[in-house]
Amino acid sequence: MSVPYRIAAEIAASPAFERSNDALLRLDERLKSSPFSEGFASRADFHEACATRWMQGELVHLEDLVLLDANTNRRMVDQETSHAWTMVRMRRLARRRPIEWLMSDEGILGLESTRRARGGADDHELDELIYEPDWNEAQRLLAWRTAIGEVDKLPALIGAAVAWDQWLRLEPIQHGSARAGLMAALVLRSKAKTKHHLAAIDLGGRHAKYRRAGHHQPSERIMGFLEWVETAASVGYKELDRLSLAHKVMSLKLTGRRKNSRLRELVDLFISHPVVTVPMAAKALRITTRAADLMIREIGSVPRELTGRGRYKAWGVL
């Protein structure tokens, strides 16, 4: 069942819509002038990927995901972490490419090719076992576009809510329900509602109280989406505050250092990654693990040690 225009219009006039819309706009405006916007976006990709897989019933450790992305993981990668890494790559591609291409059928399927890239001689056979050959993606995509087109004259946030809800209902891309939050974020970007960031819808959903269910009424599902957006913006404010304070404190260690000091690069690494290990820092800064370990200790207590272990350690800005 699609979302009736009348219900969507009524929600657009509600206090809940005003709160979520204002929260989203404030976060985007703050990121416009923030020196940490790039670091915020990088960290958001990791957090959103973990939240998306959590919504799918998969628990992904943030540390494992970051290490896989940096190619410094020392153990076998499980399927859940691999799925989350695919979402990270999708979001990065979505931030790089023009929105016109991303919202086209070619772009939507282009993002999907990132997910289906497997590598191996038995790919075709594997696809036939996993994907139903009669799944009409073109027809489902058309139905999805029709649904969001019906509320095109309403505010962008309502359009994104309908896009999210209908993506989950229609599942245009087979086994692609996890893409719902990303598609809603792309709708917001296409309507210039989020000019300076790609919204982390599922991150808001992980922290919010509402849990979507197919038997919920359309109005209830849309209101739940608005709660997710408002919560995601609130999480974003706190993240920016943490990054700003952490950078200020860590920068005290840079006083008197030469401009090309590697310690500056280490500070930037902590700002752009939620988890940093010694091998990861050594690879990123092109130094020895011994030097990386000494620099992390030198930078002070702001990056907290996260593992509590003596042998294997990881640090992050909390």
Q: What is the pLDDT of residue 240?
A: 95
Q: Are residues 193 and 152 in the same domain?
A: yes
Select from 249, 273, 204 the least CA-distant residue to 41: 273
| Three state DSSP letters for 68-100 | HHCCCCCCCCCHHHHHHHHHHHHHHHHHHCCHH
For residues 31-52, give the mean pLDDT: 96
Q: At 288, which CATH number?
A: 1.10.10.10
| Inter-CA distances, 266 with 15, 36, 97, 279, Å | 44, 15, 28, 12
**Does 33 map to a domain?**
yes
C-alpha–C-alpha distance, residues 230 and 210, integer Å:
12
Q: Are residues 298 and 162 in the same domain?
A: no
Domain endpoint, select from 213, 242, 271: 242
**Does 249 map to a domain?**
no
**Does 59 map to a domain?**
yes
Q: What is the pLDDT of residue 120?
A: 40
| pLDDT tens readout for residues 216-232 | 999 999 999 999 999 99
| pLDDT tens readout for residues 157-180 | 999 999 999 999 999 988 899 999
Q: Which domain holds residue 276?
A: 259-316
Residues above pLDDT 90, as percent of the chain: 71
| pLDDT tens readout for residues 131-165 | 677 788 889 999 999 999 999 999 999 999 999 99
**Does 250 map to a domain?**
no
| pLDDT tens readout for residues 52-62 | 999 999 999 99
pLDDT classification of 116: cutoffs 50, 70, 90: low
Residues above pLDDT 70, as percent of the chain: 93
**Does 251 map to a domain?**
no
- Number of domains present in the structure of the chain: 2
pLDDT at 310 over 60: yes
For residues 46-50, give the mean pLDDT: 97
Select from 46, 48, 42, 39 the least CA-distant residue to 247: 39
Domain endpoint, select from 242, 270, 304: 242
Q: What is the pLDDT of residue 126?
A: 42
The letter for the amino acid at 109 is: L
Q: At 204, which CATH number?
A: 1.10.3290
Q: Are residues 126 and 225 in the same domain?
A: yes
The letter for the amino acid at 24 is: L
